[in-house]
């Protein structure tokens, strides 16, 4: 890991997607800000749900996807910060089954305390990810402020009939993940200067990896719902899927994929404070969680993987298709008919 004079994580209390507003407070803000009733029939996905991006139909065959995502530094290296922030923002387009077409940058920088050269490195990192996604970083907006913040507003396209939302799951659907969990734990280990070089590389490998498989999954009718796992942790985003679909879910704790090395930090009680924030928000809707298992379920992810609801009748065909795309997936549970608790964790 490269040594740099300035530790960007010193400028953030909750790094990456862990700095999201708490679920309960966000709910209060949204419920107090007036009606979100949609009157434009071309707005196919808007504020009425909790999806990853807005979708607007512009022709019979094309709908435009728009999303914005930004956060405070999750790592100290500015180039890596830019890469992670860009991959995270692009994920929202992929989570809708779409194809990104261009992006604009959002930059807040304390120019009197952090050098412009560091900000340039952030932009450079973002550009490398945009290039990997096959799009241009077309422009953006910047302000001078006390906190370093970076992200992207991303535009994409999708066929109106191929949009994947987080509320289309059906009872019996298999739940899959496309990335292992633990980014928040590793980011906290970094912030506390406890992380090993090997584990830092594991963090980068996961958080910088594009969820571009989502564009291909958009063509799979057997995938009934999709979202990405970010700041509310696996449990929070799974509960959003359950609530939107009118279902409950069973999760096999031992099938949850974890990034190599993460458990060692959990054993040392190294994990984000906002892990407890997430648990406090969702514990009443959950059963079967024992002790520190809540960390795996509630660790805030940044640029986490996609979570899918797949028709069980197409299980073998879907898994073969993912293997042909060199996409690793993990089966972690199933959606079931709605019952008293939204999520049951099977030990």
- First-last CA distance in the chain: 37
Task: Retrieve residue 103's tokens.
Answer: 């992006």
Catalytic residue among 17, 19, 130, 298: 17
Sign, CA torsion 228/234/236/238: positive
17 carries an active-site annotation:
yes
Give me Rg for the CA atoms of the chain.
19
Percent helix, percent strand, percent coil in the chain, to nearest 5: 40, 25, 40
Q: CA–CA distance from 111 to each of 84, 89, 120, 179 (Å)?
A: 22, 24, 12, 35
In three-state form (DSSP H/G/I as H, E/B as E, the rest C), the secondary structure along 78-128 is HHHHHHHHHHHHHHHHHCCCCEEEEEEEEEEECCCCCCHHHHHHHHHHHHH
**Angle (nearest 5°) at CA 143 between 138 and 146:** 135
Reduced to 3 states (helix: H, G, I; strand: E, B; else coil), residue 70 is strand
CA separation for the pair 118, 122 (Å, rounded): 6
Give the closest residue to 150 by CA, choosing from 159, 141, 161. 141
Which residues are part of the catalytic machinery?
A: 17
């Amino acid at each position: 890991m490269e040594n740099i004079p300035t530790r960007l994580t010193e400028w953030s209390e909750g790094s990456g997607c862990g700095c999201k507003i708490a679920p309960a407070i966000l709910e209060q803000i949204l419920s107090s800000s007036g009606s979100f009733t949609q009157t434009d029939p071309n707005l196919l996905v808007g504020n009425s749900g909790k999806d990853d991006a807005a979708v607007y139909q512009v022709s019979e065959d094309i709908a435009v996807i728009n999303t914005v995502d930004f956060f405070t530094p999750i790592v100290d290296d500015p180039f890596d910060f830019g890469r992670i922030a860009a991959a995270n923002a692009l994920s929202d387009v992929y989570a809708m089954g779409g194809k990104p077409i261009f992006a604009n940058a959002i930059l807040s920088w304390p120019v009197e305390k952090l050098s412009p050269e560091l900000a340039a490195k952030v932009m450079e990192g973002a550009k490398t990810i945009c290039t990997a996604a096959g799009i241009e970083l077309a422009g953006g907006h910047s302000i001078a402020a006390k906190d370093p913040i970076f992200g992207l507003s991303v535009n994409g396209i999708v066929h109106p009939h191929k949009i994947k939302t987080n509320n289309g799951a059906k009872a019996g659907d298999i739940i899959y993940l496309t990335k292992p969990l633990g980014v928040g734990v590793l980011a906290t280990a970094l912030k506390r200067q406890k992380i090993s070089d090997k584990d830092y590389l594991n963090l980068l490998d996961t958080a910088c990896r594009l969820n571009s498989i989502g564009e291909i999954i958009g063509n799979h009718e057997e995938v009934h719902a999709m979202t990405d796992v970010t700041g509310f942790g696996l449990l929070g985003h799974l509960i959003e899927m359950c609530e939107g679909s009118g279902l409950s879910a069973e999760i096999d704790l031992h099938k949850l994929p974890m990034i190599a090395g993460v458990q060692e930090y959990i054993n040392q009680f190294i994990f984000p404070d906002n892990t407890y924030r997430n648990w406090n928000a969702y514990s009443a809707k959950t059963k079967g969680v024992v002790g520190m298992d809540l960390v795996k379920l509630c660790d805030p992810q940044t640029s986490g993987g996609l979570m899918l609801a797949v028709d069980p009748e197409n299980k073998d065909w879907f898994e073969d298709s993912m293997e042909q795309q060199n996409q690793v997936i993990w089966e972690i549970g199933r959606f079931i008919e709605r019952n008293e608790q939204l999520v049951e964790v099977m030990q």
